[in-house]
Structure 1
C-alpha cells in the first residue's frame, strides 16, 4: 500500500522550526549534547550511548529520542517540545502514542530535512514509495557539486530536497522536480522549515521542465542497476541496466544554458572486454565537456546484498534469498562482472568538447565540488591557450610533492618509481619519468615550457617534445601545474 502524502502546512513547519531552535535541536546542538563517542556510536547504528546521554536533557533530549532514536516518548513531553500536537499528529509528524511518524533531523548549517523513517526505525522493510532521507549518496553528491553562483538551478528528482537545500546558498532561483507525490510533499516541508523558496513541479524525468534551460542541473537519480522494474521509487528507474544513467547523461545537456553545468551521480556496468570509459563516453551528445569520475566498482554479490539491506531486507530471509537469486541471475544473463559508481560533470559548449574518464578510487577528505569547478576552468584555459602552450610559464603548487621509490642495486640505490602526489583536493597522483621530473623542477614561474625543454636538451641530450606537451596538459587538468598570469 502506498503512503498517503503528508500535508505539513506552512504554519506547522514554522512552529516546528521555532521549537527546534528553542530546544537547540540543531546539528551542533545534538553533537554537543551527545558528545563525540555517543554521536559516533549513533552513526554506527548503536543508539544506547545516545539514549543515556539524553537523560535529563529536557526538550532537546525528548526530540533526539523521538526523531533520532525512534523511542516512544510520553505525550506531555512531546507536547512540551513541539507545542499543541493536533496538527502534528494529523500530518503524521508524530503518532498518537508518542512516536515519530516522519524522520526530521538536523543537517548542515542549522537545516532540517524531512523524510520517511528508515528501515531501522520502522522495524522492517520500507514501502515502495519510501522517501529516502540524508544518505551517503546525497551527501557525496552535495560535496561533489560546484557552488559557484548561478542564476537558475534545477534539482532533478529532488527526493526529500537535500540538493535544493544546498543550492539555496548559491542559486538565484531553484526548481525541484520528482515523479513521487510523497517526495514532493516531504521536500516542500523541508523547504518550508528552512524558509527556502523553491518551485516544485511534479512529473517524470525531464518532462516537467520541457523547453526550459538552467544554468546548473543537479541530479541524484534512481541509478540502481538491475532489471527494468520499479520496486522502490527512490532507487529504481524502470529502465534496464544502467539505462537511467545513460538517459540522463544523454538528455541533460539540452536543458542547460550555454556554458551551463550539470552534475549527477551515475552507475555503469562493467562487462568483460569492454572499457567502461568507452561505454559512458558513448552516452554523450555532441557539444559537451564531460568528466566521469569512477569512485568504486562493486561485484554483483556485494551490490545486491548492499541494496537489499538498504531497503531493510535481510539477504538471509526467504524474501532476501529469492530476490538475491533473481537479481544475480539477471547479472549473469547480461554478462555483467561489476557495477561502477561515480560522479559526472557536464558542461554545454559550442567549442571542441573535452571528455575525460578516470578512476579515483582512493580515499580523500576534501570535497570534490571545488575540483570539478577547477577542472572545467582548466579545460577552458587549455582550449583557449592550446597554440601558446609551449610559450606558457608554469609553477608547481606547494601542495605537489615528488615521491621516489628506490631499490638497492650494484651501484647503490636505483629509483624504480617517481610519483607526483598532490596533497590537497582529491590527491591526484601521476607517475613520471626522470625527464618529466626535471622539467617540473624548472617550473618556478621564470621560464616558459619551450625554454625549459631546450635547457634540458642542452644538458641531458635529445628531448621528446611531442610527448612533453600531453603530459603538461594532464598535469594542468589535475592542478599540478598552474599557469602564471601574463
Structure 2
C-alpha cells in the first residue's frame, strides 16, 4: 500500500457517482436490498446472509459484493454495473483489481449516511479483504471511534471548520451539514488522497492541507475544530499512522488540548477524542487539567478506563497480531514494561470539549460517564457551554432566579426495611435524556426541588424550607449555591420562562 496511489480524477469520480446513483448504492438502498436480518448479520461480521441476498440483484448487488463483502465478481458483471465508468479506467485508478478471471475491490467504498441523506466514503480495504497485512499508512474506514466523535460534536451552524487528521474524511462529511467552509488536514499523503476521493465523489469543496498537527494552519483560526487523533498510548513508536503519534504516553492528547484553543475564534469550540493515563497516586482529572492553556473552558468526559493488559491485547489484535505468537508476546512485553516503568494503572478514554473564552475564571469540569446512554453527546456539549455562559453571567444572582425541574427529570427513592417499616435510604435524581445525569440528594434537597415549578425564586423557596424544617436560612443559601450550579450545568434545573 505504499506504492504510488493513482489520482481519482474529477471525471472518474463523476462517472462512478452516476453508477452508484443509478444502482441506488446508498445507505437506504443497501438496507432495502439486504433486509433487516441480513443487514444485522453483516453488522455482526457474518457476511453470508448478505452475500446470498445480493446475488442476482443487479448492479446494486454487484457493488455490495465488491465493496461491502470483498468478494470476487465476474468482470462482465462489474463492467455492466459501472455503466458510464469504463472498466479500464476503474482498473487504472485501482477502484477494482484483477484476480484471475474475476475482479475484486481495490478500495473500500461504502455508503455512510445520517438523517439527511447518504455519502460514499473511500478508505483502504480491511487487511482480510485485501489479503495482505495493513501497511503503516493504512487509511481506516468509518469505525466506532469515528462515529462516536460524530455523535459528540456540536452540529450548530459554523462559518469555518477544521477537521484535523481527516483520515478518510468522514468528520468533514458531517461538518458539511452545518459549516460554510471546511479545511481538512492530515500528516499522511495517502489519507489526503483518499479523503480527496471521498470529497470529489460527494461533490464537496474542502480545502486539503498536508502536515503534522497544527502546522498546516499556522496563524489561522476556526469556529470549530474536530479531531480524531492517533490517541493510542504507550512507548513512543509509530506502527500505524492512524493510531500511533510517535509521542510517549498520552503526550499526543496533551499536545492537542494545549494547542487547540489558540486556533479557535473567540467563542469557538473544539471537539476531540483523547486518552489519558491513570498513574499511581495521581487523579486523572488533575492530570488533564494541567494540559489546559489559559482562557479555555473545558469539559472532559471519561467514557472508559482500560486495564493495561486488556488495552495491549486489544491493540495487538487491531494490528492483526496474535498475542500468543512470539511477535505478539514480544510487543506485549515491551508495552507492559513501559506501563510498569511509568506507574500506569489504567488508560482512560473519552471526549473533550474546549472553548476559547475571555472569562477571568474559565470553567473546567472532569466527569466520569461510563454508564450507557443513547443520546448523542454533541448537542449536550453545545448546551453545556450555553449553561456555563449563563452560570457565569448569573454568578451573583443565582438564587434570585425562579427555576423548574424539567419533565425529563425524575426522583428515584430506594427504601430499606426497618423496625418501624420502610425508610428511604437513597434519593437519586435522574435525567432521562442526554447523558443520563444522576445526583444523589438528601431529604432537604428533595423537598427544595419539589418546589421548583417556576413560581418562586430559589431564595424564597430556601426561606420557606428553613422555616418548615427549623434550619438556618443563611446556611441553606450557602449550601444551595454549588448545588444549584451543578444541577443547572447538568440540565436538571432550568430557568422558568
Q: Is 2:478 aligned against 1:476?
A: no
Cα deviation per residue 1:275-329 (whole Å; 9 max; x = unaligned)? 0000000000000000000000011111111112222222223322222222112
- Give matches, 1:403-418, under 5 Å: 403-418=412-427
Aligned to 2:446: 437
Q: CA deviation at 1:250?
A: 0.1
Aligned to 1:5: 5
Cα deviation per residue 1:35-90 (whole Å; 9 max; x = unaligned)? 11211111111111111111221111111010011101001111111131112111
Aligned mates of 2:205, 2:94 — CA distance in 1: 23
Q: CA deviation at 1:346?
A: 0.4
Aligned to 1:424: 433
Aligned to 2:167: 159
Q: CA deviation at 1:124?
A: 4.5
Cα deviation per residue 1:441-486 (whole Å; 9 max; x = unaligned)? 111010010000000011111153211110110010110000124x
Aligned to 2:319: 311
The match for 2:402 among 375, 393, 414 is 393
The match for 1:103 among 91, 108, 111 is 108
- Structure 2 residue matching 1:61: 3-state secondary structure: helix
Q: CA deviation at 1:26?
A: 0.8
Aligned mates of 1:125, 1:409 — CA distance in 2: 64
Contact 1:253 1:347 in 2 (8 A): yes
Aligned to 2:258: 250
Contact 1:119 1:311 in 2 (8 A): no
The match for 1:132 among 117, 127, 140 is 140
Aligned mates of 1:135, 1:303 — CA distance in 2: 18
Aligned mates of 1:50, 1:292 — CA distance in 2: 40
- Structure 2 residue matching 1:227: 3-state secondary structure: coil
Aligned to 2:82: 82
Aligned to 2:181: 173
The match for 1:271 among 260, 269, 279 is 279
Q: CA deviation at 1:122?
A: 2.4
Provide closer, same or farther for how the CA distance between residues 133 and 380 of structure 1 changes in structure 2, counting only shifts above 3 A. Answer: same
- Give matches, 1:111-126, under 5 Å: 111-126=119-134
Cα deviation per residue 1:382-422 (whole Å; 9 max; x = unaligned)? 00011111100111110000001010001111111110110
Aligned to 2:62: 62
RMSD (Å), alpha carbons: 1.1
Relative to the length of structure 2, the TM-score reads 0.96
347-356 or 328-337, larger mean C-alpha shift: 328-337
Q: CA deviation at 1:18?
A: 1.1
Aligned mates of 1:392, 1:281 — CA distance in 2: 31
Provide closer, same or farther for how the CA distance between residues 277 and 385 of structure 1 changes in structure 2, counting only shifts above 3 A. Answer: same
Contact 1:68 1:105 in 2 (8 A): yes
The match for 2:289 among 253, 274, 281 is 281
286-295 or 54-63, larger mean C-alpha shift: 54-63
Q: Is 2:26 aligned against 1:26?
A: yes
Aligned mates of 2:43, 2:460 — CA distance in 1: 55
- Structure 2 residue matching 1:159: 3-state secondary structure: coil
Contact 1:393 1:483 in 2 (8 A): yes
Contact 1:7 1:91 in 2 (8 A): yes
- Structure 2 residue matching 1:297: 3-state secondary structure: strand
Contact 1:420 1:430 in 2 (8 A): yes
Aligned to 1:218: 226
Aligned mates of 2:178, 2:137 — CA distance in 1: 30
Aligned mates of 2:110, 2:322 — CA distance in 1: 26
Contact 1:125 1:313 in 2 (8 A): no
Provide closer, same or farther for how the CA distance between residues 448 and 105 of structure 1 changes in structure 2, counting only shifts above 3 A. Answer: same
- Structure 2 residue matching 1:398: 3-state secondary structure: coil
- Give matches, 1:357-372, under 5 Å: 357-372=366-381
Aligned to 2:241: 233
Aligned mates of 2:58, 2:89 — CA distance in 1: 23
Aligned to 1:190: 198
Q: CA deviation at 1:31?
A: 1.1
The match for 2:93 among 91, 94, 99 is 91
Count the aligned residue pairs.
Answer: 485
Aligned mates of 1:202, 1:71 — CA distance in 2: 34
Aligned mates of 1:433, 1:481 — CA distance in 2: 17
- Structure 2 residue matching 1:39: 3-state secondary structure: helix
